[in-house]
Amino acid sequence: MKRLLLPALLSLSLLAHAQQTPVPPVTPQYRPGYHFSPAAHWMNDPNGMVYYQGTYHLFFQYYPDGMTWGPMHWGHATSPDMLSWQEQPIALFPDELGWIFSGSAVIDKDNTAGFGKNAMVAIFTHHNDPEEKKKTNKHQYQSLAYSLDAGKTWTKYKGNPVLPNPGIQDFRDPKVSWNEVAKKWIMTLATKDRITFYSSADLKSWTRESEFGAKLGAHGGVWECPDLFPLTLNGKTHWVLIVNLNPGGPNGGSGTQYFIGSFNGHQFTPLNEKTKWADFGPDNYAGVTWANTGARKIFLGWMSNWDYANQVPTSPWRNATTLPRELGLRQVGSEIYLTSQPVKELAKLARPAQTLSKLTVTKSTDLTGPLKFSGDKFSLKMSTPELRDFALVLSNAAGEELRLGYDAQAKNYFVDRRKSGPMGFSDKFAGRHLTPRLATTPGADLTLFFDATSVELFADGGLSVATELFFPSKPFTTIRLESAAGMTVQNLVYNQLSSPLLKM
């Protein structure tokens, strides 16, 4: 990869961070087949996600000189379908104003900024490491870069920063979108333990509008990577405010909370004060939505957790993204919830299905043979007319197992990875993680996507969602269903999935 020519003011700081431990032995068995991960080195937050001229652009926090977090760049990858990704040259490098932290990108179709009609404009946080060491609380500020060739090359705006720091320790992760009613750009910015909204007519001059959340929501850690967008339910528009939080997630470490309410171009007003979570698993963080996709809102997260992201046993890369997920709203009783469903494009990966119908599960039922189970990249969909206690168990010859299922008394779905493989890399990794069931119907549906070292659980039409990593020493080769009380499975559909990111 192209190496960074270090500006003089940052060279010593960057070189200090570049002192990396040797690269451990490669782990091709852990490489995901249909989740994006860089060919090598460290990645975290998805950034600048924007759809333009038939291409999905994914920018991401990237450190090209090591496998642990370091001075941040914007990596870049493109895809026609969010499944088959082509890694592109690094888009944004650190400069004299600082490292390139998280942000967003928009298509300026009306040339409001003056960079050019349909310019792709990135709005990001500059992080000034030497300034941070001075403890002035002015080391993070918002800047612009633009591309006139659909993201191939980038020019940083000479007037950076466009939003100086007023003296807030954590002042970052701008998510910008055009508000058609107010006829202005709205920036949703994470400001320590709350969200601050700014507005602009030209992306260059910003006015503070309001703030939200000082006394609402989860506050176990710093608020980060927000997003604001409308969704429609029964003909009525509601606004969804996503706020990522670290630490303080529902199952430890990083997490993604959200609020549903109204936004008038000036202020966000929640429907109530209830804290809700977009994903209850430990391994979905920093997720935001793609820009320029119309009414379709597609979410993508970072599939890891700051509790152990620097230590997970993959090489020569670390970390990946979640599945892209289409968002919606659902009302249950008096509450409105955000739903997440795997994007429809995933259907093209499915190989011919193995289907079991009207399956009676008593104690333990081996499904390995009936499903012709093999490989570590597959989906499993099951439905039951009456949800009871059950566990789906994947295991291998080494005695390792991954368990997931439902606890009827507690009304929780669960993923138990305590015996799923070696986990000495972190004392925070092992656990049995719970996801509340929000649906109230007797019957249930469950969709699972497995990809080498991850499982993503979507229950009850995406009302209850969990993302979980695991690292078995050998592939799981058996699969079974357990139910002490007995359970009827109406349909069980197993699909091996092709791997557009790997050579088959």
Q: Is residue 359 part of a domain?
A: yes
**pLDDT exceeds 90 at position 499:** yes
Do residues 316 and 355 both lie within one domain? no
Do residues 227 and 258 both lie within one domain? yes
Closest C-alpha among 289, 263, 259 to residue 274:
259
Between residues 18 and 189, the one the model is more confident about: 189
Do residues 316 and 377 both lie within one domain? no
Q: Into how many domains does the chain fold?
A: 2
Question: Residue 362 has what pLDDT?
Answer: 86
Do residues 371 and 286 both lie within one domain? no
Burial class, 193, CB count within 10 angstroms (exposed 0-12 / middle 13-18 / buried 19+): middle
Q: What is the CA radius of gyration of the chain?
A: 23
Do residues 314 and 369 both lie within one domain? no
Do residues 328 and 385 both lie within one domain? no
Domain boundary (289, 314, 342) is at 342
How, if at all, do strands 317-318 and 41-52 pair?
parallel
Q: Is residue 12 part of a domain?
A: no
Q: Give the mean model confidence (pLDDT) for residues 456-465.
A: 98
d(CA 476, CA 463): 28
Q: Is residue 31 part of a domain?
A: no
Do residues 206 and 71 both lie within one domain? yes
**If you write DSSP's letter for every residue of 393-410 in order, what string do you get?**
EEE-TTS-EEEEEEETTT
Tracing tokens 């939200």 back to the chain, one arrives at 212
d(CA 291, CA 107): 8
Structural contact between residues 310 and 429, judged by C-beta atoms closer than 8 angstroms: no
Per-residue pLDDT of 268-315, as tens digits, reads 999 999 999 999 999 999 999 999 999 999 999 999 999 999 999 999
- The residue from 45, 65, 108, 283 that is catalytic is 45
Question: Is 16 strand, coil or helix?
Answer: helix
Closest C-alpha among 254, 232, 235, 233 to residue 245:
254
Structural contact between residues 455 and 468, judged by C-beta atoms closer than 8 angstroms: yes
| Sheet arrangement for strand 298-302 | 285-289, 298-302, 325-332, 335-342
Question: Residue 503 has what pLDDT?
Answer: 52
Percent of the chain with pLDDT over 70: 95
**pLDDT exceeds 80 at position 455:** yes
Tracing tokens 């430990």 back to the chain, one arrives at 282
Amino acid type, 311 = Q
Domain boundary (342, 376, 407) is at 342
Do residues 139 and 261 both lie within one domain? yes
Do residues 334 and 379 both lie within one domain? no
Tokens of 448: 């699972």
Question: Residue 21 has what pLDDT?
Answer: 57
Burial class, 114, CB count within 10 angstroms (exposed 0-12 / middle 13-18 / buried 19+): exposed
Question: Residue 501 has what pLDDT?
Answer: 87
Chain centroid to CA 412: how far? Answer: 22
Do residues 120 and 208 both lie within one domain? yes
Checking 152-157 for CB contacts under 8 A at 24+ apart, the result is 152/88, 154/91, 154/92, 154/122, 156/92, 156/95, 157/115, 157/204
Length of the chain: 504
**pLDDT exceeds 60 at position 259:** yes
CB-based contacts of 326, cutoff 8 Å, min separation 6:
296, 297, 298, 299, 340, 341, 342, 343, 344
Q: Is residue 274 part of a domain?
A: yes
**pLDDT exceeds 70 at position 12:** no
Per-residue pLDDT of 338-392, as tens digits, reads 999 999 999 999 999 999 999 999 889 999 999 999 999 999 999 999 999 999 9
CB-based contacts of 108, cutoff 8 Å, min separation 6:
115, 116, 117, 118, 119, 120, 121, 146, 203
Full-model pTM: 0.94
Do residues 152 and 74 both lie within one domain? yes
Closest C-alpha among 415, 388, 418 to residue 404:
415
Question: Is 218 strand, coil or helix?
Answer: coil
Q: Is residue 397 part of a domain?
A: yes
Structural contact between residues 103 and 129, judged by C-beta atoms closer than 8 angstroms: no
**pLDDT exceeds 50 at position 473:** yes
Strand partners for 194: 191
- Annotated catalytic residue 45: yes
Say which CATH number the domain at 121 has: 2.115.10.20
Full residue range of the structural domain in which residue 485 is found:
350-496
Distances (CA, A) of 142 to 45, 70, 206, 216: 17, 20, 10, 25
Domain boundary (284, 310, 342) is at 342
Q: Give the mean model confidence (pLDDT) for residues 166-188.
A: 96
**pLDDT exceeds 70 at position 1:** no
Question: Residue 451 has what pLDDT?
Answer: 98
Say which CATH number the domain at 467 has: 2.60.120.560
d(CA 75, CA 314): 19
d(CA 178, CA 327): 19
**If you write DSSP's letter for every residue of 336-355 in order, what string do you get?**
EEEEEEE-GGGGGGBPSPEE
Per-residue pLDDT of 192-204, as tens digits, reads 999 999 999 999 9
Chain centroid to CA 420: how far? Answer: 23
Do residues 240 and 319 both lie within one domain? yes
Q: Is residue 21 part of a domain?
A: no
Q: Is residue 390 part of a domain?
A: yes
**If you write DSSP's letter for every residue of 222-253 in order, what string do you get?**
EEEEEEEEEEEETTEEEEEEEEEEES--TTSS
Q: Give the mean model confidence (pLDDT) for residues 226-255.
A: 97
Q: Is residue 8 part of a domain?
A: no
